[in-house]
Amino acid sequence: MTIRAARLAELLEQVNHGQAQKALPSINRWLDKQPGHHALLNLKAEALRELGRVSEAIEAFKAAAQASAGAHNWQKAGMLLAGEGRIDAAVACLQNALKELPESEDILNALISMYFDVQRFSEGVEFARRQVQISRDIHFLFKAALLLQRGDLAEEASRAFKAIVDLSQPSPVAADVVPTPSTSVVDSQSANAARHPQPRYAIVTPYHQESREVLERCIRSVREQTVPVEHILVADGHPQDWIDATGVRHLRLDRAHGDHGHTPRAMGAMLASSEGYEGIGFLDASNWLEPRHVASCVETYQSALKQGRTDYVIARRNLCRPDGSVLIAWRESIDEHVDPNCFFFFPAAYPMLQHFGLMPKALSVAADRFFYLALRERGLQPAVNEQISVNYLCMWQAPYAALGETPPPGAKPNIDSQATLAWLKSRNPEERRLAYRLMGNVP
């Protein structure tokens, strides 16, 4: 007796709508009659996964794959095995999937991510190289480039990051619409650099849906630095074409990431580090710099080097009202927190920059605190630039209340760290260990 398509559809509907417990006995009865039916085997695997019976689900996905139910079943088995910490068995399943679909960017990304997460970089190199050859997906290329970099293949990683930049450029249609100067700022800077070699510094700005007025203030403040600085803007899913005519480097991510700008921040930083900039700073789109910000951070670094090792500089900031006026000239304690806009990194600290992009999204609201903790746990040494050179648009209620002012519309309460800590505590020991590694912390 052969199961009808309509009955299969009914069972699939049950599994997909929280009724796996009800569907599973019927699936098993049909499999008794048709033991090698690949669609039924796949349904059984999905039902077991929904019920949390992971070990049984893994075996069912393998059985479905062996019954010619497609590479996706090998992939699902592999991902479940990875979640169980059985990395070698997971790799074997994913390689079986890749044999069936050798050009699958998704399967390659699963292998690259797995090897990256367990820090077996050399074993993931062949898959990263293949991804770079075939993929045009920025997210897949980013993970491949990170693995190549961690695998000490700096030149290959640099080419991969440059491929990301090329893919982020506007299409020919957009280029026709947006006017560009006859002599670009970038070309001019490149020519000057060739004649008069000098240190190269970069400021990375992630942006989302900020207004043109806000972005122009940010861009203008970088352009007005007293030393040459390249400004790298990274669109988090909502690119604004007019930016292409401003003389900055403009990367476009094809979707928003919902992680407070940390993914575009990481991508811009990794690009800058791969291209050999001597210093890298961050500037959120809503904020702006004083003209000597970069110069004073470099001077602080050079002065601190004479006293011993220094890896990064911490700048001071003004908390500013929406109209740009200063609310507080703030020399806050740096014992537990430094805002990302106040960091200026030098090469010894570059390996840490990737963690903004690797950090679990559930922790992104407190990413700056986890990142600063990681810097200290890894023994990186800061120097403090006592000049106030960062202007931070303050949209938090507490500073206004402390001064007896009415907070502006849209101001938010302080972040509740309890939810973040609760998420971490809810993980099992292996998941928690992985989360710490992705954050760059030493558990």
* pTM exceeding the 0.95 threshold for the entire prediction: no
Residue 127 contacts residue 108 (beta carbons within 8 Å): yes
Asked if the structure places residue 61 within a domain, the reply is yes
The residue with greater pLDDT, 247 or 165, is: 247
The string of pLDDT tens digits covering residues 421-435 is 888 888 888 888 888
Asked if the structure places residue 377 within a domain, the reply is yes
CATH number of the domain where residue 54 is located = 1.25.40.10
Write down which residue in 125, 149, 168 finishes a domain.
168
Residue 150: helix, strand or coil by DSSP? helix
Does one domain contain both 162 and 218? no
What pLDDT is stored for residue 211 in this prediction? 96
Please give the residue range of the domain that contains residue 108: 5-168
Does one domain contain both 121 and 248? no
The count of residues in the chain is 443
Asked if the structure places residue 266 within a domain, the reply is yes
What percent of the chain lies above the pLDDT cut of 90? 46
Task: Quickly list H helices, 252-378.
Answer: 262-274, 293-305, 355-358, 367-377
Does one domain contain both 162 and 100? yes
The string of pLDDT tens digits covering residues 223-237 is 999 999 999 999 999
Does one domain contain both 271 and 346? yes
Asked if the structure places residue 358 within a domain, the reply is yes
Residue 245 contacts residue 178 (beta carbons within 8 Å): yes
Does one domain contain both 273 and 159? no
Does one domain contain both 149 and 211? no
Structure-token pair, residue 112: 């690259």
Does one domain contain both 162 and 239? no
Total number of domains constituting the chain: 2
Asked if the structure places residue 189 within a domain, the reply is no
Asked if the structure places residue 270 within a domain, the reply is yes
Calculate the average pLDDT of the chain: 86
Asked if the structure places residue 193 within a domain, the reply is no
